[in-house]
Amino acid sequence: MGKQIKNKCLIVDDEHYFTMYLKILLEKSGFEVTDCLSAKEALEVLKYKSFDLIISDIQMPEMDGFDLLSEIKNNEKTKQIPVLIVSNMDDCKYTERAFKLGAIGYIKKPFLKHHVIRILDIVKNGN
């Protein structure tokens, strides 16, 4: 019997404990997960690895999640990857900016598990 192909997800967040929580949640949902603690690290990983979903925070040192999202969407190799923003920033201007830059969703931290599970179902099944 062959191996089931897993969807691949990249998590980009400088909060280690949040990243670990999200990684466990995603792995239980059948994803293969790579995590990065900075946007710059994520851009390096994206040079040699492909993903089905990217989940990124906004507030990170050196380069924020908006700049990362912009880089992803302006790159021919990565522009088709869905990007979900998770952030503790609760101002509608951040949500609007994320969607203008091409995000598929914006979830406020802390979030309920079922919010992320629904997004994952959409990515995995297209419904």
Question: Out of 12-21, 28-37, 49-58, 118-127, which region has the weakest mean confidence (pLDDT)?
Answer: 118-127
81 domain-assigned: yes
104 domain-assigned: yes
pLDDT at 126 over 60: no
Please count the structural domains in the chain.
1
For 82, the domain range is 38-125
26 domain-assigned: no
Q: Domain with 67 in it: what CATH number?
A: 3.40.50.2300
46 domain-assigned: yes
Question: Out of 3-12, 18-27, 28-37, 60-69, which region has the weakest mean confidence (pLDDT)?
Answer: 3-12
18 domain-assigned: no
33 domain-assigned: no
Q: Measure the CA dihedral 16/17/19/20, to 10°.
A: 120
How remote is the C-alpha of 3 from its chain's centroid?
25
pLDDT tens by residue, 30-74: 889 999 999 999 999 999 999 999 999 999 989 999 999 999 999
116 domain-assigned: yes
Contacts of 34 (CB under 8 A, 6+ apart): 8, 9, 10, 11, 45, 49, 51
pTM for the structure as a whole: 0.88
For residue 112, what pLDDT band results from cuts at 50, 70 and 90? low
